[in-house]
Homo-oligomer: A and B are copies of this chain.
Amino acid sequence: MPTIVVEVMPKAELLDPAGKAVTGALHRLGHSSIAEVRIGKRFELRVDGEVDAELLTQVEEVAADMLANGVIEDVIDVRVEGAGAAGETH
């Protein structure tokens, strides 16, 4: 069963309080080389059957409309993983 992975991150210009908290914790643990942490979402969509270009385009639209909040987030990757992954990535 192929899986389409959609990755969504907060827009670069947006403050990421959760990311800041993790950055602070890492610094307190001595990991000072980590300059910044940002936290986004990773969606795995399991697909019945093959993933063709048409389905991938539909998922890109769904990603932009539903999976990401366009005001504060960007869809940064839509790719196929696993069986049926003909290296399709947009």
Contacts and interface: CB of A to CB of B under 8 A. Distances in A.
Interface in A4-44: 7-9, 22, 25-26, 29, 31-44
Given A41-B42, A42-B40, A47 B35 contact: yes
A2 to B, nearest CB: 10
Number of copies: 2
Interface size class of A (residues with CB under 8 A): 20 to 34
23 contacts: A1-B35, A9-B42, A9-B44, A22-B66, A26-B66, A29-B62, A31-B58, A32-B48, A33-B48, A34-B46, A34-B48, A35-B48, A36-B45, A36-B46, A37-B46, A38-B44, A39-B42, A39-B44, A40-B41, A40-B43, A40-B44, A41-B41, A42-B42
